[in-house]
Structure 1
Amino acid sequence: MFSLENTIAPAAPALDELVPSRYALKVGDIDVLVVSDGVLPLPTQMLGHNVQASERAEWFDEMYLPQDAFDWALNVMVVHSGERTILIDAGLGMDPDLQLPRAGQLIRRLGAAGIDLREITDVVITHMHMDHIGGLLVDGVKAQLRPDLKIHVAASEVAFWKSPDFTRTNMPQGFPDALRATATHFWAEYGSFVHTFEDEHEIAPGVVARRTGGHTPGHCVVRVASGGQALTFAGDAVFAVGFDQPNWHNGFEHDPEEAARVRIELLNALAGTGEMLVATHLPFPSVGRVSREGEAFRWVPVFWDF
């Protein structure tokens, strides 16, 4: 089992890491580790392609962010429940053609956290975009995984990627081809490991995957609950702008209107319960809660526990 230590031991400083790349917490009796896979620079238009550039510019100004492109966080989670160690999403991987040297750090950072890939009993894929499955395609990774590894994916997600539809997305040139190729590669390598579910599936005690759709047809979230506490890993259901502007369309959403409906429903539910939220593209470690602000929402980051 991984350590819940959030600090770097003074005797062994990680000289190549000037900022933290993992954050541990407990949800009741369940251990959770948020791990950064790095950052992915993308055009700012990707956060709201259905609104005027001036509207996006105003939001980025208010957030003290650049107007042309900014770094999307890439977060994954490791959950230890009972005898099972569950990896939720697998990061971008290390495709040299992508020229993204600050992403694809997951495998190295799992090792730095003391997590042996052979410990992982289950992988939950929130959806099959390349920044959620690519880490499993890094050279040498498959050979280190258990032969009885279970990879959990919604059945509708698997069906979608057999013939994906990008007509309603708004991605930079080349991304649809890269996404399609990565999903095909993933299925060729790991199809025999995949266990599909329809709408909801318990992975381990207190760890439940639930299909939401929207971002992709089989997109799912994962709720971790124990001892009266709960945390939801929202995958790509929520982006940084989604609290202030939940109806803005993200360029990677295959059904933008449904994605907005899913986002608002999820944020409303979390605001009502006060349960914690982690999402792939919120600033690391992305652990926070949700408050309502009129027709919009507010992300409330947790105070770090040292």
Structure 2
Amino acid sequence: MSLDDISHPARTGPDELVPSRYALRIGEIDVLVVSDGVLPLPTAMLAHNADPAVRAAWLDDMFLPPEAFDWSLNVVMVRSGGRTILIDAGLGLDPDLNLPRAGQLIRRLASAGIDLASVTDVVLTHLHMDHVGGLLVDGVKERLRPDLRIHVAAAEVEFWEAPDFTHAVMPPGFPDALRATARRFVNEYRSRLRPFDDEREIAPGVVVRRTGGHTPGHSVVRLASGGDRLTFAGDAVFAVGFEHPDWHNGFEHDPEEAARVRIRLLTELAATGEQLVATHLPFPSVGRVAVEGDHFRWVPAFWDY
């Protein structure tokens, strides 16, 4: 089934009270944003280098709870030039961290009528567990085609051989879970990995480019067709990063470089006017970037039915 066939909402089950997928087109490229669920995380993770009072004021202005709130998990399916591409794979199974509302991707792809065997390529923005775990769910590997290509930056694979969490500030349990999931993923899929150095075209108009920052091999995916453009930014951009791009996220392995990457990317997106999707922006996270004074502003797209 092509992505064209699922551009309109299908009947949802009793446990799906809100939409969990959103389709759009970038020129001749079909795009489907799929929600993998949400991660409840401490609000301090948004900005561990910020004054707590300033951070609390931002949360209050955004009508968000002061201690913890739900981070969206967005995954993207793309079809271009006869290739069907999964960009990131969600959390998968709960890694003993009490995250029961995440890891919905495989079920939601099935409800959208997407056969895992139709996926020709997987692009991973990085190897954090909420981006690769869906491929570790029991039975998934056996359903994937034997010639599946998994594209990930070579620097990312190298980093996870001996990850350095010196500059990250994560809740207890997360470092061990991240390390174990990345190790398991590389061991299980090593023969299908297609590492790249800086940039690679996956299909017509679909290019993955390494940015670094969040992790050494963190990458973004740019889509371009017929004058339309969209960037999937992975974890380079969080909701707070528009107004405070210099705030450090707790999962960033090089916070200073991550801030520089974020500012460069947002500046570019504001200049081009292209659309943006990111992993942890509120679903479906489709929008654009504007410059407002000395910071940025996220402009969510109007939903197109």
Output the amino acid matched with 1:30: I
CA contact (8 A) 2:94 2:100 kept: no
| Cα deviation, residue 113, structure 1 | 0.8
Q: TM-score, normalised by structure 1?
A: 0.98
| Aligned equivalent of 1:168 | 167
SS of the aligned residue for 1:41 comes to strand
CA contact (8 A) 2:168 2:253 kept: yes
Deviations 1:256-276 (A, max 9, x none): 000000000000000000000
| Cα deviation, residue 4, structure 1 | 5.4
CA contact (8 A) 1:41 1:72 kept: yes
Matched, 1:243 2:242: yes
| Aligned equivalent of 1:2 | 3
Tell me, in whole angstroms, the C-alpha distance in 1 between the residues paired with 2:97 and 2:57: 30
CA contact (8 A) 1:4 1:25 kept: no
| Aligned equivalent of 2:143 | 144
Unpaired runs of 5+ residues, structure 2, are: none
What aligned pairs does 1:203-214 form with structure 2 within 5 A after superposition? Answer: 203-214=202-213
Deviations 1:184-241 (A, max 9, x none): 0001110110001000000000000000000000000000110000000000000000
Matched, 1:286 2:269: no
Deviations 1:82-132 (A, max 9, x none): 110000000000136232111000000001111000000000000000000
CA contact (8 A) 2:3 2:31 kept: no
Output the amino acid matched with 2:106: I
CA contact (8 A) 1:3 1:114 kept: no
Tell me, in whole angstroms, the C-alpha distance in 1 between the residues paired with 2:22 and 2:281: 14
Identify if the C-alpha distance between structure 1 residues 5 and 140 changes in structure 2 by more than 3 Å, giving closer, same or farther. Answer: closer
CA contact (8 A) 1:244 1:297 kept: yes
CA contact (8 A) 1:274 1:289 kept: yes
What aligned pairs does 1:1-306 form with structure 2 within 5 A after superposition? Answer: 1-3=2-4, 5-9=6-10, 12-95=11-94, 97-306=96-305
CA contact (8 A) 2:97 2:173 kept: no
CA contact (8 A) 1:88 1:125 kept: yes
CA contact (8 A) 1:200 1:211 kept: yes
Deviations 1:141-180 (A, max 9, x none): 0000000000000000011000000000000011111000
| Cα deviation, residue 295, structure 1 | 1.4
Tell me, in whole angstroms, the C-alpha distance in 2 between the residues paired with 1:13 and 1:237: 32
Q: Where does structure 1 differ by over 4 angstroms across 4 or more consecutive aligned residues?
A: 4-7
Output the amino acid matched with 2:296: F
SS of the aligned residue for 2:3 comes to coil
Tell me, in whole angstroms, the C-alpha distance in 1 between the residues paired with 2:215 and 2:53: 28
Tell me, in whole angstroms, the C-alpha distance in 2 between the residues paired with 1:96 and 1:247: 30
What value does the CA root-mean-square deviation take over the aligned residues?
Answer: 0.9
Tell me, in whole angstroms, the C-alpha distance in 2 between the residues paired with 1:4 and 1:247: 41
| Cα deviation, residue 5, structure 1 | 4.3
Q: Percent identity?
A: 72
Which moves more between the two structures, 28-37 or 91-100?
91-100
Aligned pair count? 304
| Cα deviation, residue 15, structure 1 | 1.7
CA contact (8 A) 1:2 1:114 kept: no
SS of the aligned residue for 2:96 comes to helix
Deviations 1:241-288 (A, max 9, x none): 000000000000000000000000000000000000000000000000
CA contact (8 A) 1:6 1:22 kept: no
